[in-house]
Each structure stands twice: as C-alpha cells, then as structure tokens.
Amino acid sequence: MDLFPYKPRKNQTAVMQTIKNTLESGGDFVFESGTGSGKTICTLTSTLEYALENHKKIIYSTRTNAQQRQVILELREIRNKNKGVKEKIFGIGIQGRANMCILARNDLEFAKGTSEELSKYCSNEKKKAKSTNKDKDKGCIYYRNFLNKEKVETVKEWVKKELPTAEEFIDYCEKKEICSYEINRLLMRESPIVVVPYVYVFDLMIRNMLFDCLSVPEDDMVLVVDEAHNLPNYIRDLFSAQLSMYMLNSCILEAEKYGDPGMVDGRFSVSEFCKILNEIVRDLRDTYIYGILEGGIRREPVKKNDAFIPSHEFETEILSRLKITSRTLHDIVGDLMAYGEKIQEYRQKDGKLPRSYLHKLGLFLDFWISLEMDQYAKLVVDASGGKNPRIEAFCLDPSVGAAIIRDFHSSIHMSGTLEPLEEYRDSLGLSENIELIGYPSPFPRENRKILFIGDVTTKYDEISKDEKILTRMKDYVTNICNTFPKNTMVFFPSFNVMSMFRNQVGLDKINRDIYFEEQEMSQTALMELVTDFKEQGNENGDGAALFSVMGGRISEGMDFPAEQLEIAVIVGIPYPKPTAKQRGLQRYYDLKFGKGWEYTVEAPTARKLLQSIGRLIRDEKDRGVAVILDRRTPRFKKYIKDMQESKNLIQDIQSFIGN
C-alpha cells in the first residue's frame, strides 16, 4: 500500500490487501479488529488509493463527530507522507445542517430544528439573498457572502491547504462570515472522500441531497461504515416513529393559535381531534401497562414501562370514538398535512423556522395506518415517569433501511467489537457471500489483565433481596480508587444504575477527584470533562475517577492512551432491559434466523463490555487492568477468553501493575 503513512503492524497488511481485493471485485467486506489496531488508517489508505486510480468517490460514514475528526487527522498523515501526490489527497468532513448552519449554531430555536425545517428556512433565506430588490440586507448574511465568488475561492484554497476537521472549517467560516454548508457542497464535487454521519447515507431525503452534490452514480461510490456495530440499532431508530402526549399537546396549542379549523364538515375542530387522540394514548397506557379495566379496577401491579398493542387498535379507537369511517380518517390525515404546510408558510414569513406539529401528526398517522406489520411492532410506552405516554411503531428489521448498501460499488464495514459477524450480516440483509473476517488483537496479551468478581451482581432480583451486594460493590470501587493512584474509569450498565449506585451507597470515601458523565450533557461539556480527566492522569501520577456508562459516547470512539487510563471497572453486565420492545426483537430474530438470544441479547451485551475494556489498550506500549464486578461474567468467555476470577482483587491488580 503505497500511501500508508506508518510502518505496518501485525494484521494491517492483511486488512489492506483484503480491502483491495474487495474493491477490485466490487464486493463487500465486514471485519472486526481490536480497538487501537489501526482500522481507520488501513481502510482509509486502501479505499483512497483505489478511488484515486479508478475515479471513485468514498463516502466514509461515522456515528460520532469524534470518529469523523479521527478520519481527517489520519488523512493529514497520509498527505504529509505522500507529498508527491499531495494535491490529489483531499477530503472534507460534513456534519448535520444544525451544526454547519452558523445561524443555527448561534440561535437556540434554530439549533433544535430538524434537517427538513432548516432546509426550508434556508431555501427561503437564499431566495431573499438572491433577490434583485434594492435592499441588500435581505436574507442570510452568510449566504450573501457566499454569493461573492472571490470570498468563496479564498475559503476553498484555505480548506485544500489546511485539510481542516469539520469543527475547524465551521469556525473558520464563522470568522469569515460565509456559509460553511454551501461551500462544503461545492467542495464535495472535487473531493475524493467525504466523511459524513450515518444519516447522510440512510435517510432518503438527506441521501438524495448528498448524491446530487457528489454528481456521480452510486456504482462509482465506495461506502465505508465505521463503528459498524452501531448501524443496525441506528437504522431501527431512524425507521421507527412515535406519537407522545407532549407532541399532541403541542398540536393542540398550535391549532388554537392558528385558528383551529373544523374537520369532517365542522363536526369537530382540529384541537378536539388532538384531544381525542390524547385520551386514546392515555387509555392504551392504562389498559396495557397499568392493567386498568373499566371502572378503574387495576388488573395487575405496575412492573413495566411498555407493552404491545394490537396492530389496529389505535385507529379502531379513533373510528369508534369519532364515529367516522376509514376513508374519512384518511381525509383527516390529508387535512392535517395541508393545515401544517400552511402554518409552516406563516411561520416562515415571520422569520421563524417552518415548524408545524400538525404536519408531523399527519405524517405519523399516515405512516401508522398504512404500516406493514411484518417488520414492525406497535407499542405503548410509559415515558417520563407517566407524564408523557406515547405509542410507537418500532422497526424490528434494520434491513428495511439498508437496501442502499447494495447500490454502491463496494462497501467496507468495520468495528472493534462486531462478533458474531454473521449477526451483523443477517441484520442488514447483506449477501451470504460477503467476506467476514475477525482479526486477533495485534497487541501483546500480557499487556492487559481482565479480572471478574463472583460475589456481586447488578441483577435486580438479587440486589432487591440482598442489600449487602451494593455495599460490596461500592467497597470494591472505593478500594481500587484509593489504592492505585491511576486514572480509573468506572462503567455502569445505564445511567439509572449509575444514579442508584451514586445515591444509595455514597462515594464520600473515595479520596480523589471524581467526574460524572451526565445523560443530557452537551458534546462540548462532555469533551471538557474528558479533557480534565485525561489531564489528571498526566499530572504527578495522582489520577482521578470518571464514572460513565457502557455503550455511551465515552465508552466508544474516545482514546485514552498511556496514563490517561490504566484501570477500567465495569459495574455489572449491560444486558438489554427486558422490555416489550426487547422481547419483540428477540422473537423476530428467533422466527427469522433461529438466533433470538444470541443476536439480540448476548452479542449486544458482549460488544458493550468489549468496547469499555477496549478503552485501556490503544497501542503496543499501553498496559491496563479491567475489573468486571458481576458473577455472570463467565457467560461471555467465548468473547473475552482471557478473563480470570479474582479472589483477592487488590492483590491481583497490584501484582499486575508491579510486574
């Protein structure tokens, strides 16, 4: 691989050769290679070399902005090493419109806008900016400056010279007061590689915009899916839909504000229709979750947060309570979308985002009543502590949104935790002939130690019967933090478990700085938290403790080399919650593949464990200890072959660190 900027490590040449063979044959390749093994640079080098020689475009898709940044940094290394072809090695990072629109970055209302709302608002601002009207101050100032060709060329030259990350590019454009989104659209045509969030590939409307800008057919594109283990769940969420009481309350307020027109020959108003829907959602919650029959009799104690509902019960209740036909309901759906579009126009004229909750309601109802049930489950969910129940059409089968993969020239899917590879292939509906390879870790096994404790667990039934379990877990965490002056990360199965641990057992005896990842923490605040934690490991060896969750933003995609992280404590096994949604998923995979437990419970749990453990070892010199506090750990022996039970935890850690 001529472009590769480093001395190849174990397995890297094999990975690059397989990618090269895949691209030349026009096939697909799914591989697992451990955290820190160089998947990004191997894939980037191989695909870029092929794209430049064969006039292809690379769409490199990532889940997080941190992963996107890493791709651009590696691209810089490739260019620095290959100065003879420096001009050809070029790529851009693209983020969502809410991030790239400078107006949205500086306005809280705009920042919450959907891509569709921002797109409509942007189109209107562009029309005003292009107007021949004498008033030159109309329209978006950043787009007006974009119409200045000299300014645009200056920015394009800077980008090609500096190869900035998306964040650096947006900051530069903000200083120059020019639209970063529109300049990126121009640069796409010239760039052999564009780095995008998943949504740019798997959302139809946004994908069409991307492909229009690239101006090449799909079979001239190579798709790369980074951190691929996230993709099936991402597509499930993208293709699911929900209707909550909060949403319906917003519809009622919107209808009353904009005239509350009558429906079905004036028999009821739009707001009255929404209030009926609100009652139905609440009654479905009461019946299927609370178990309340007519007369207020509770059928069973409340033990769950969601439940299946019969496939046509919601619309049947609408027809029954309003005494209308199915055809009339379809007419109502069309009216809601028409009213919503008019409201969008009114708001746009007032300089606001063209947002309409009634339009969204119409889209939801149209989707719900026409839904084919083969690949979906319909549920009622009791959210926000009973304050915001909702109904949800949950996509069980991510292959409904993955068909686009077959249209690309080739696709490369990679992750540090993708076993079993067959589950990923089957979930996305990829060909059975696709290449599946799991590469062993290139790092010495003796550089990491994985221990587990057999006298504790986070299993709810056992914790509720034995209060001493939580106390023992707290003691393990406290003793580790106080005994070893090392940066230590403590991972929990969920924010709820972390909150329970934090509130019930107390952490006042830990003699070091403690950082907590919060559930609603912004990306900026999260990065500041991680930076502060890393610095504690770099300073005087004092170390700190960072409490986080498995499967969260910190446990995936963030690097903690050397002293920045040396001990990882995993509190419990991150099994999926036993919800109706999870049961439906397991049943669907049992029926389709005969592997419900393996594909929907065991594999996702193992991946979360391995992602958290993977934060420890990022290169050949890193050493680290992982401790799993749960007696159920041996169930994952086939995924974590080097685990050992510890009977004297502090001594075992001390022995490894001192060796």
pLDDT at res. 475: 92
How would residue 304 be classed by pLDDT, with cut points 50, 70 and 90? confident
Mean pLDDT calculated for residue range 230-246: 97
How would residue 501 be classed by pLDDT, with cut points 50, 70 and 90? confident
Pairing of strands 241-244, 390-395: antiparallel
pLDDT at res. 381: 96
Q: What is the pLDDT of residues 372-417, one digit of tens each?
A: 888 999 999 998 888 999 999 999 999 999 999 999 999 999 999 9
Based on the number of CB atoms within 10 Å of its own CB, is 658 exposed (0-12), middle (13-18) or buried (19 or more)?
exposed
Q: What is the pLDDT of residues 337-368, one digit of tens each?
A: 999 999 999 998 888 899 999 999 999 999 99
d(CA 88, CA 78): 11
d(CA 127, CA 121): 10
Percent of the chain with pLDDT over 70: 97
d(CA 448, CA 624): 5
What dotted CATH number matches 241-398? Answer: 1.10.275.40
Mean pLDDT calculated for residue range 557-575: 87
135 pLDDT higher than 60: no
Residue type, 415: S
Residue 632 is given by DSSP the state T
| Domain 445-658 of CATH type 2.10.109.10 | no
How would residue 61 be classed by pLDDT, with cut points 50, 70 and 90? very high
Find out whether 644 and 451 touch, Cβ atoms under 8 Å. Answer: yes
HSE-up of residue 405 (Cα within 13 Å, Cβ side):
29
Beta bridge pairs of residue 516: 547
Identical topology for domains 241-398 and 445-658? no
Find out whether 289 and 382 touch, Cβ atoms under 8 Å. Answer: yes
486 pLDDT higher than 60: yes
Residue with the two structure tokens 């609370």: 290
269 pLDDT higher than 70: yes
Q: What is the pLDDT of residues 192-201, one digit of tens each?
A: 999 999 999 9
Kindly report the CATH class assigned to 38-227. alpha beta
Beta bridge pairs of residue 57: 221
How would residue 99 be classed by pLDDT, with cut points 50, 70 and 90? confident
User: How confident is the prediction for the chain on average, in pLDDT?
Assistant: 91
Residue 395 in 3-state DSSP?
strand
User: pTM for this structure?
Assistant: 0.91
pLDDT at res. 541: 62
pLDDT at res. 293: 67
d(CA 439, CA 417): 11
Domain ranges of the chain: 38-227, 241-398, 445-658
Mean pLDDT calculated for residue range 285-314: 82
How would residue 294 be classed by pLDDT, with cut points 50, 70 and 90? low
Lowest-pLDDT choice from 52-61, 129-138, 604-613 = 129-138
How would residue 129 be classed by pLDDT, with cut points 50, 70 and 90? confident
Residue with the two structure tokens 């094999």: 14
Q: What angle do CA 601, 604, 608 make, to 5 degrees?
A: 130
Neighbours of 511 (CB within 10 A): 9
d(CA 545, CA 549): 13
Percent of the chain with pLDDT over 90: 69
299 pLDDT higher than 80: no
Pairing of strands 624-629, 567-571: parallel
Name the phi and psi angles at 622, rounded to 5.
-65, 140
pLDDT at res. 26: 96
Neighbours of 542 (CB within 10 A): 13
pLDDT at res. 82: 92
How would residue 614 be classed by pLDDT, with cut points 50, 70 and 90? confident
Q: 3-class secondary structure for 498-552? A: HHHHHHHCCCCCCCCCEEECCCCCCHHHHHHHHHHHHHHHHCCCCCCEEEEECCC
331 pLDDT higher than 60: yes
Based on the number of CB atoms within 10 Å of its own CB, is 24 exposed (0-12), middle (13-18) or buried (19 or more)?
exposed
Lowest-pLDDT choice from 11-15, 94-98, 593-597, 640-644 = 94-98
How would residue 621 be classed by pLDDT, with cut points 50, 70 and 90? confident
**Two structure tokens written together for 508:** 């006042």
